[in-house]
Amino acid sequence: MTSNKSTGAGAAGTEILNFIGGEYRKGGGRLFENYYPATGQVHAHVHEASREDVDLAVGAAKQALKGPWGRMSVAERLTILRKVADGIQARFDEFLRAEIMDTGKPRSIASHIDIPRGGANFNVFADQIASLSTEAFQSATPDGAGAINYAIRVPRGVIAVICPWNLPLLLMTWKVAPAMAAGNTVVVKPSEETPATAALLGEVMNAAGVPAGVYNVVHGFGADSAGEFLTSHPDVDGITFTGETSTGEAIMRAASNGVRPVSLELGGKNAGIIFNDADLAKAIEGTGRSCFANTGQVCLATERLYVQRGIFEEFCAKLTAQAKSYRFGDPFNPEVTMGPLVSDIHRQKVLGFYEKAKAEGATILCGGGTPDVAGFENGYFVEPTLWTGLPQTSEIVTNEIFGPCAHISVFDDEEEVVGLANNSPYGLATAVWTENLSRAHRVASQIDVGIAWVNSWFLRDLRTPFGGSKKSGIGREGGNHSFEFYTELRNICIKL
């Protein structure tokens, strides 16, 4: 059952294996197919982990806490983390190919965002943990001798990391890097759609000298598969999850067994707000990216746009022109700017919303169907789509679609648009476009979200708190905030 051969992630006809205790292993579950979204063809077979495999992985992670990893100084751990970052960089092209084959995303995105951030996450959290501090108090005692109280941060233990498919390496390492920096061990369950880069990272971990069992990967699905086996495992000490809100609810239920903490980064239905006084060229460019980047498959994407009446017509016309400027084609071609959706199922879901918008009588500014992509006729492509004219109660305006699309509504004043933007069960992100500084502060602070951008979108400083309010999540990750989840605070009181 054990194999140390390369994962071969991304190469046609290869098998993607679990990574447990520092070794690649077949799984006791099914062998399932992995599709290249640009062609709809099978490009790899994935070994699903059985309950026993998940047991092995959690056992290896628990054991590793007691081994060299648990005894390592922070400085030694950081040296290893930096080697992991270097290892990703050294094998950049392999990671790039694996990510493109799994997601179909264009090289222009994966080579600028996904893979560089995959490495950067390890360096950023190495920096953060090196300068982490806690509080201390000099305390009075009845006998006058006094006491000192100080807190230390200790690793939480075995962390289950459950990831989505939209930014596979980036979002997985966003959790794995701080977890490891803080001295935890991890068992990762990547999305069944995008298992390749998580598997490939095992080779990098071994080469960087990460002790066996610190980083483990189990493949499979959610319910009644590796996801559920992992989140319900009694030896998992904390669960960090990024994905859909309904899955987050299931994971919270699983975590309640044994009172395990959760960190949840969930869905969104983010509002973009564009005032009459915005710098229109910048607002169009930024809003276009916020709607269409990664084929709209970004949790931070804006799918609800609110544009002030004075610029409504011009804004709609110019954003439509930007939507039409995307170029489909071979994801490996650096000129291509829009890839397919991740799967046929997801394409059916997005096209279902396109049909619903039509049936509800939306004005379709552009798109609404599937494009002809020569040579990629069976790929999961959809057109970038913009609508106007639907009521705020329409599912197009209320539900997360997760495709390259947005509905544009008109508004008249600040108070009205704050109300419209906040009229959502989600609270992940917003982007406000205005040249009026006071208005920018006022509006950004009133939108009930975890992240408000002004005159920008997806401008990320990895030290800042990242997460959502309402149904968009629990907790904040990023910078030192990550260590609030990946460590326990222990107070030590010394009587002098």
170 binds ligand NAD (CB under 6 A): no
Residue 114 within binding range of ligand NAD, rule CB under 6 A: no
Stretch near ligand NAD under the rule CB under 6 A, chosen from 245-253, 309-317, 373-381, 409-417: 245-253
From candidates 222, 238, 272, 329, binder to ligand NAD by CB under 6 A: 222
Least separation in angstroms between residue 167's CB and ligand NAD is: 6
Q: Which is nearer to ligand NAD, 156 or 219 (CB)?
A: 219
Q: Which position's Cβ is nearest ligand NAD?
A: 222
**For ligand NAD, which is the closer residue by CB, 187 or 284?**
187
- 129, two tokens: 């943990």
Task: Kindly determine how many residues on this chain lie close enough to bind ligand NAD according to the rule CB under 6 A.
Answer: 32
- Please select the residue that binds ligand NAD; options are 267, 286, 403, 478, rule is CB under 6 A: 267
Stretch that binds ligand NAD, among 151-159, 187-195, 384-392, 452-460 (CB under 6 A): 187-195
Nearest distance from C-beta of residue 380 to ligand NAD, angstroms:
14
Closer residue to ligand NAD, CB minimum distance, 48 or 94: 48
Residue from 198, 428, 452, 462 touching ligand NAD (CB under 6 A): that is 428
To ligand NAD, the closest distance from the beta carbon of 354 in angstroms equals: 18
Catalytic residue among 265, 383, 400, 477: 265
Known active-site residue 265 = yes
Taking the complex as a whole, the smallest distance from the CB of residue 229 to ligand NAD amounts, in Å, to: 9
Q: How far is the CB of 63 from ligand NAD (least distance, A)?
A: 23
| 250 touches ligand NAD by CB under 6 A | yes
Return the range that interacts with ligand NAD (CB under 6 A); candidates 20-28, 34-42, 89-97, 161-169: 161-169
Q: Which residues are tagged catalytic?
A: 265
